[in-house]
Structure 1
Amino acid sequence: MNPEAYCYELQGSEAFVVESIPVILDMDTGIDDALAILYALSSKKLRALGITTCFGNGDIENTTRNTLAIVELGLSSVPVYQGASHPLVSPWESTAEAFHGPNGLGGTRIFHPTQKAEPLSALDFLRKSIEDHAHDIVLVATARLTNIASLLLAHTELTSLIKRIVVMGGAAFVPGNVTPVAEANIWGDPEAAWVVFHSGVPITMVGLDVTMQVPISDGMLSSLVPQVPYFDVIREAVDFYLSAYNPGEPRGNRTAPLHDPLAVAVAEDDSLCKTQALPVDIELSGRFTRGMTVVDRRERTTAAPNVDVAVTVDRERFLKQFAQRLQFQQSG
């Protein structure tokens, strides 16, 4: 028995040995990605095999550097593998500087990480890990889906070996956040999203329908325990994030969505969100709708469901877990 593949779970006074979940985090590390990494590293149930990086909230150099820095601040040595620097087909539009700052972490001065990105490419790492953990591995994608799409295009035989892909992306019953109908991660590389959503791999879509319901707040930020090694970086980065979502709003009243931490949390415990199996397609060519997750909600549709779409979230349970994991003090 590999001891790393198991963890202990307490239920009352009883302790149970449970099998841990091997995961790969695929990220474009900006501010909420950083929080998601810290959440994952604190999990006893998730076993992070590595983190692959992608362009998005910053260019690939910044997102990789940010990932290495957050891993180090989380007192971990999880390996990091650099991935895609641009979309599959279309030119890369821009970073998400308005919400994540010029360096992806709100302009926070980041130290030079001692850990380096691994020499193995993100795609080779993904392929090897999927083969080594066939039928058990879960991919958690909180970036554009470029890395995963590139892998599945090159190695179609891997689709049957992936247990599930948890995607932070899309908007089923709510507006988009980049265009009226498109969410940022899908909009940022629609062709990649199309490949993944049509791959046949089981997918859970943790989209804006649920992520916009789980905010971090000024009150939570002010309760972060000062002794944690990531205190200064997270405090400054999240302060920027809160301001970006609430321009002109004074400190004390601001909130911002915890998009990526919720996706990681669902990979660990899928009971946090209620899902509905639905047919989902990706719009590639619409003048106003490119990047839209087109969800077929018709009762008598003949289209087969291909995605488990998160439609509701246990808000209080998730926020309590998030606060505990990252060491925000809780009142009451």
Structure 2
Amino acid sequence: MTLPVFVDVDTGVDDAMALVYLFASREAEVVGIASTAGNVGVQQVCENNLGLLELCKVGDVPVSKGSEQPISTPLRTAEDTHGPEGMGYARLPRTDRQLTPYDAAEAWVRAARAHPGELVAVAAGPLTNLALALREEPALPKLLRRLVIMGGAFDYRGNTTPVAEWNISVDPEAAAEVFAVWGSAWGLAPPKHVPIVLGLNLTENIAMTPALLSRLAAEAESSSLPMSVLDDRGTRSVASNPLIAVLEDAMRFYFEFHFDQNEGYLAHLHDPLAAAVALDPDLVACRATTVDVELTGTLTKGMTIADWSNRWGREANALIGVGVNPELFFDRFVTRVGAFAKRLYS
């Protein structure tokens, strides 16, 4: 059975890897892409999404532009992490594809209404667009089959502040709105509509390495040279397969960033895990609880709090990812994306 999938991204290296995974998955039909300001500005995110559709030879998938700013805080971007255009050292092909005439919030609502009870949604960037969509259609939770959010850090350090994860930190007010609406929607929708939330405590277990990239190139039957921390910065891919070359050029920048952060010559694939879980929730173990977002703390703004002990006495509004098998994820990722790249450019 093919699942209609709607994706909200701030593309971004790992967002791009998530999109490619979905394009490569035969059970997924991507029916819309919402562009969110985050890793780079929203216009660049739009260009990246359109360029990826061109590179991957995907059909007419609607791409919509979201708000240029978070709901109430100034936009911060992360070119140091993802490169000046969000794709590391990679360059995407030019395309004549156009954005939709409607914005990303409306795109959420249109997709949900077009596929009531069937739509699988992935929110892999700041939650600005989703919060605005919920203002337009408060019944959105009961229209979705499943929602997976990549965001937060639960009993775990942050990657933007000591306690806050990037996606939540960019627009904490939007995240607070989303979790509040899902909490109030509990009586409207069955528990299956409670979002699956994958925080850094889970996604940082998904570490791409040069060895795994070499496996991906081999699966695609592409010529390639293994990456090494000893390579010159910015060394470009020599992969014969154009998709593998783009992924390698993007990932090299990401490797270098993580290395400079003293995390090793690797990169965490936060968003591809969210994409994979959207298609197969059994990839992760989850625990139901209530989640809220700190908005006023001087040192803790953007922190996600999970009420594991039910101190608040509120209904659970999230399923928090607490366990994952990285080997299983990467086996699936390498097999799917490698075969996809081979089909595209054999």
Deviation at 1:301, TM superposition (A): 5.6
**Following TM superposition, where does structure 1 have runs of at least 4 consecutive aligned residues deviating by more than 6 angstroms?**
none
| Pair 1:211 & 2:194 matched | no
Equivalence for 1:302: 313
Mean CA deviation greater in 134-143 or 220-229: 220-229
Partners of 1:245 and 1:188 in 2: how far apart? 20
Taking structure 1 as the reference length, the TM-score comes to 0.88
1:283 to 283, 288, 294: 294
Contact 1:280/1:295 (8 A) holds in 2: yes
Amino acid at match of 1:237: A
Count of residues in Structure 1 that have an aligned counterpart in Structure 2:
307
* Residue 258 (structure 2) aligns with: 245
* Residue 198 of structure 1, CA deviation: 1.3
Corresponding residue number in structure 2 for 1:14: none
Structure 1 residue runs of 5 or longer lacking an equivalent are: 1-18
Q: RMSD of the TM alignment (CA)?
A: 1.9
Alpha-carbon shift at residue 272 of structure 1 (Å): 0.5
Task: Name the residue aligned to 2:141.
Answer: 159
In 1: Cα distance, 2:326 partner to 2:89 partner: 30
Match of 1:125 in 2: 107
1:303 to partner: Cα distance: 2.9
Rate the CA distance shift 1:243–1:298 in 2: closer, same or farther, 3 A: same
Distance 1:248 1:179, change over 3 A: closer
The reply on whether 1:184 has 2:176 as its aligned counterpart is no
Supply the distance in 1 between the matched residues of 2:95 and 2:39 (Cα, whole angstroms): 19
- Deviation of 1:135 after TM superposition, in Å, equals 1.4
Q: Is 2:249 the counterpart of 1:267? A: no
* Counterpart position of 1:293: 304
Amino acid at match of 1:230: L
Counterpart contact for 1:205–1:308, Cα < 8 Å: yes
Deviations 1:44-66 (A, max 9, x none): 22221011101111001111111
Which residue among 64, 87, 90 is the counterpart of 1:81? 64
User: What is the CA distance between 1:316 and its match in structure 2?
Assistant: 1.1
Q: 1:138 aligns with which of 97, 104, 120?
A: 120
Residue 2 of structure 2: which of 13, 20, 29 is its match? Answer: 20
Letter in 1 for 2:153: A
Q: Per-residue displacement from partner, 1:279-304 (whole Å, max 9, x unpaired)?
A: 11111111111111111122666232
Structure 2 residue aligned with 1:113: 95
Unaligned runs of 5+ in 2: 183-192, 223-239, 340-346
Ranked by relative contact order (alpha carbons within 8 Å, sequence separation 6 or more), the top structure is: 2
SS in 1 for 2:297: coil
Do residues 320 (structure 1) and 303 (structure 2) align?
Answer: no
Note if contact 2:284-2:325 (Cα within 8 Å) is conserved in structure 1: yes
Alignment partners' CA distance in 1, 2:137 and 2:143: 11
1:248: how far off? 8.7
Larger fraction in helix: 2
Matched with 2:11 is 29
Match 1:234 to one of 238, 244, 247: 247
Paired residues of 2:55 and 2:93 also in contact (CA < 8 A): no
Residue number in structure 2 paired with 1:13 = none
Give me the whole-angstrom Cα distance separating, in 2, the residues matched to 1:53 and 1:127: 14
Contact 2:121/2:147, CA 8 A, preserved across alignment: yes
Aligned residue for 1:255? 266
Could you say which residue in structure 2 is the equivalent of 1:3? none
Change (3 A) 1:177 1:133: same
Map 1:4-19; keep pairs closer than 5 Å. 19=1
